[in-house]
């Protein structure tokens, strides 16, 4: 076994590998760029080596710097994590020449499976079912149009060296093929240094299901069940689960055995993932093989009890697999939510900044529920524009699927993140979506259910009663605390006011205190809008970020943030401003004029912090609805900004190469 390994990655996956290495008694070396000087993975490792400037192309993607760090520290092996150099065969060969072990598969397997074009050719030769497509070199956009016409629309344009949804476009027409081909090549070049793309038939409403495999150097190979990864946005996974609610035992076995056969065919030696698309009739087609650890590996670990990082290290050290296929049992259900630094209310545009608050839910086993959070940040960490926007991976396990989903819902409601925009409201709303809860999903789920983007969930009457109850309980405690402060001009008389008006969003509800005392823990009986009595119980104290308790028979975990004259309550994807006040105050407030937001309809605003790649128009130019105005790059993704209506450009306020803040004016219209 190794005594010291270097982790050639950053963020949560570097921390994840370090945890297992520490458990195995192996010393670890971290590497870091300028942007990651104070990162969590640097603090966790036994040693850390600086490898260059912030851009990954000058630090994490430079093999020579990783090898130099190994030599300087005496690391015997390198774990690449995912992304960066994890699927680069030349890096694996360079390590081997220096006598350093690559904790992953051999170069031949990486070359055969890691390149999407070559893997398709290999799979075809091995009689593995694949999606119809063109695997040769595509010379230009015109050639791409011709191929797409022969295959039949819709088609998927993909970067050969791609991953994480980068360099991937769906095209439904000739025009979209031409534009998608150029964008996919551009993204592939900037993200992977390889602009080759291929085209294949896009299977409508497919599921994305992948099989986890393990294989050692002694000819042993097995599969560890599947992961359902169909909840995707822009071809990037958002929520994963294991097992899939769709597969039956027969299909699972067939997919698993095919995956193992593929792994054996390339003499695979490590953990790997074989991805399939599965249609509504349970026909499955090979998509690609990821010759590395997957982002979503924790759900497999939770349902099998097998530490995949440990298995990778043991296989790389030459050990035989200690488990057989018959030992693999899928126990219970696990769900993973990817917490991204992005604004769900602005079409999920990237967000950067400092985490002024970062307080994840407590990890561990709570009765039948397990909560796990894989992360590489802490309070005070900086979310940088240089890397992937993923902040954490929150996982829950329970004996049944719905119990795991409900556990995830409560964990998300308890996850406090301030300082950046994030997708927790969207994830929390998703956990309540009936179609998701029933398992009736496909890769088109998000685009179908949220065609106009995600908007704040509007509470129904029952949910408004819950929110009004929380707001009343919080306000009573707040006032009681103020009344007990020394030096008050008018101390509290001791009598509890019974009647209140609660503003939830734009609606006013009446709240009557039927019985109870102001104390911690609190127990109050309330009636909202004359409805039945609700018993409100909580040990919340002023200043606590999470309100935990019960309202009637509902168990609640909601986030409380102070706003002007009230509170913002976030719960199950809802986020409402709430204010409990005396009825006379509510009467007067209804008479207050509304503040009108400034008119920005004649401006193109930068929707996220990013770099201006190109400006497609000139001052005085007339443009039609749908035409490209500008392209802004953020977190390795190019975002095309188009005209929403016919207009004339009056003034350009930005130029290519400018770094803009969110809402910075790019151009003005006449």
Q: How much of the chain is helix, strand and coil, in % rounded to 5?
A: 30, 35, 40
Q: How many helices (H) and strands (E) does the chain have?
A: 17, 40
In this structure, what is the dihedral angle of CA atoms 336, 340, 342, 344, given to the nearest 10 degrees? 10
In this structure, what is the dihedral angle of CA atoms 579, 583, 585, 590, given to the nearest 10 degrees? 80
Q: How far apart are the C-alpha atoms of 464 and 507, rounded to whole Å?
A: 9
Q: How far apart are the C-alpha atoms of 439 and 9, rounded to whole Å?
A: 34
For the purposes of burial, counting CB atoms within 10 Å of the CB of 361, is it exposed (0-12), middle (13-18) or buried (19 or more)?
buried
Helix (H) or strand (E) holding 67: helix 63-73
Q: Give the list of residues 6+ apart from residue 68 with CB closer than 8 angstroms, or none.
A: none
Q: How far apart are the C-alpha atoms of 195 and 186, rounded to whole Å?
A: 7
Phi/psi of residue 360, nearest 5 degrees? -70, 165
Check if the beta carbon of residue 5 is closer than 8 Å to that of residue 78: yes
Do the strands 47-50 and 27-32 form a parallel or antiparallel pair, or are they unpaired?
A: parallel
- Of 12, 87, 176, 288, the active-site residue reads 288
CA triple 217-223-227, angle to 5 deg: 135
For the purposes of burial, counting CB atoms within 10 Å of the CB of 546, is it exposed (0-12), middle (13-18) or buried (19 or more)?
middle
Check if the beta carbon of residue 366 is closer than 8 Å to that of residue 450: no
Phi-psi map region of 590: left, alpha, beta (phi>0 left; psi -120 to 50 alpha) = alpha
A 10 A CB-CB count for 554 gives: 12
Q: How far apart are the C-alpha atoms of 559 and 467, rounded to whole Å?
A: 11
Check if the beta carbon of residue 667 is closer than 8 Å to that of residue 629: yes
Nearest to 87 by CA among 275, 290, 385: 290
Q: How far apart are the C-alpha atoms of 162 and 273, rounded to whole Å?
A: 15
Instruction: Name the token pair of 77.
Output: 């092996």
Nearest to 81 by CA among 4, 24, 15: 15
Helix axes 89-97, 107-114, angle to 10 degrees: 170
288 labelled catalytic: yes
Instruction: Name the token pair of 280.
Output: 């509504």
How far from each other are the two terminal CA atoms of the chain, in whole angstroms?
69
Q: How far apart are the C-alpha atoms of 8 and 86, rounded to whole Å?
A: 8
Residues classed as catalytic: 288
């Amino acid at each position: 076994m190794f005594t010291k390994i270097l982790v050639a990655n950053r963020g949560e996956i570097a921390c994840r590998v370090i945890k297992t290495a520490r458990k195995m008694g192996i010393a670890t070396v971290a590497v870091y760029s300028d942007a990651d000087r104070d990162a969590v993975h640097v603090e966790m490792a036994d040693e850390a080596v600086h490898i260059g400037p912030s851009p990954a192309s000058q630090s994490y993607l430079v093999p020579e710097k990783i090898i130099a760090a190994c030599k300087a520290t005496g690391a015997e092996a390198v774990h690449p994590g995912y992304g960066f150099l994890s699927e680069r065969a030349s890096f694996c060969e360079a390590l081997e020449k220096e006598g350093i072990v690559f904790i992953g598969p051999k170069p031949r397997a990486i070359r055969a499976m890691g390149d999407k074009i070559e893997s398709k050719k290999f799979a075809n030769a091995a009689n593995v079912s694949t999606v119809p497509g063109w695997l040769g070199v595509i010379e230009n956009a015109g050639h791409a149009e011709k191929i797409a016409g022969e295959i039949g629309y819709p088609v998927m344009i993909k970067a050969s060296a791609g991953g994480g949804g980068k360099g991937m476009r769906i095209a439904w027409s000739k025009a979209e093929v031409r534009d998608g081909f150029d964008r996919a090549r551009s993204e592939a070049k900037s993200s992977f240094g390889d602009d080759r793309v291929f085209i294949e038939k896009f299977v409508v409403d497919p599921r994305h299901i992948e099989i986890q495999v393990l294989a050692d150097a002694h000819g042993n190979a097995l599969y560890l069940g599947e992961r359902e990864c169909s909840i995707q946005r822009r071809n990037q996974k958002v929520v994963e689960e294991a097992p899939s609610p769709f597969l039956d035992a027969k299909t699972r076995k067939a997919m698993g055995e095919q995956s193992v056969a593929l792994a054996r065919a390339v003499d695979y030696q490590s953990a790997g993932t074989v991805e399939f698309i599965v249609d509504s009739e349970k026909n499955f087609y090979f998509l690609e093989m990821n010759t590395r650890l997957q982002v979503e590996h924790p759900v497999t670990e939770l349902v099998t009890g097998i530490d995949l990082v440990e298995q990778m290290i043991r296989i790389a050290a030459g050990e035989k697999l200690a488990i057989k296929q018959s030992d693999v049992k899928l126990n219970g259900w696990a769900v993973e939510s990817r917490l991204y630094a992005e604004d769900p209310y602005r079409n999920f545009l990237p967000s950067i900044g400092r985490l002024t608050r970062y307080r994840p839910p407590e990890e561990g086993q709570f009765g039948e529920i397990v909560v796990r959070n894989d992360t590489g940040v802490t309070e005070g960490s900086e979310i940088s524009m240089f890397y992937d926007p993923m902040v954490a991976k929150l996982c829950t396990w329970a004996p049944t699927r719905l119990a795991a989903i409900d556990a995830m819902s409560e964990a998300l409601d308890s996850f406090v993140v301030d300082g950046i925009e994030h997708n927790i409201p969207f994830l929390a709303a998703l956990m309540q979506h009936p179609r998701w809860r029933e398992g009736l999903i496909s890769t088109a789920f998000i685009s179908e259910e949220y065609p106009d983007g995600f908007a704040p969930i509007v509470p129904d009457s029952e949910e408004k009663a819950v929110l009004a109850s929380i707001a009343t309980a919080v306000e009573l405690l707040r006032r009681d605390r103020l009344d007990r402060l020394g030096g008050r001009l008018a101390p509290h008389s001791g009598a509890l006011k019974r009647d209140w008006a609660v503003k939830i969003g734009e609606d006013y509800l009446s709240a009557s205190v039927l019985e109870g005392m102001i104390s911690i823990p609190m127990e109050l009986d309330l009636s909202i809008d004359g409805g039945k009595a609700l018993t409100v119980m909580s040990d919340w104290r002023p200043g606590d970020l999470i309100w935990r308790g019960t309202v009637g028979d509902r168990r609640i975990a909601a986030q409380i943030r102070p706003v002007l004259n009230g509170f913002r309550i976030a719960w199950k994807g809802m986020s409402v401003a709430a204010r409990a006040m005396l009825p006379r105050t509510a009467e007067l407030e209804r008479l207050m004029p509304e503040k009108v937001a400034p008119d920005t309809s004649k401006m193109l605003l930068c929707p996220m912090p990013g770099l201006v790649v190109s400006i497609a128009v000139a001052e005085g130019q007339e443009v039609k609805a749908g035409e490209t105005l500008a392209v802004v790059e953020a977190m390795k993704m190019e975002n095309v900004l188009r005209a929403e209506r016919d207009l004339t450009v009056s003034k350009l306020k930005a130029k290519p190469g400018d770094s803009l803040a969110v809402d910075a004016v790019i151009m003005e219209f006449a």
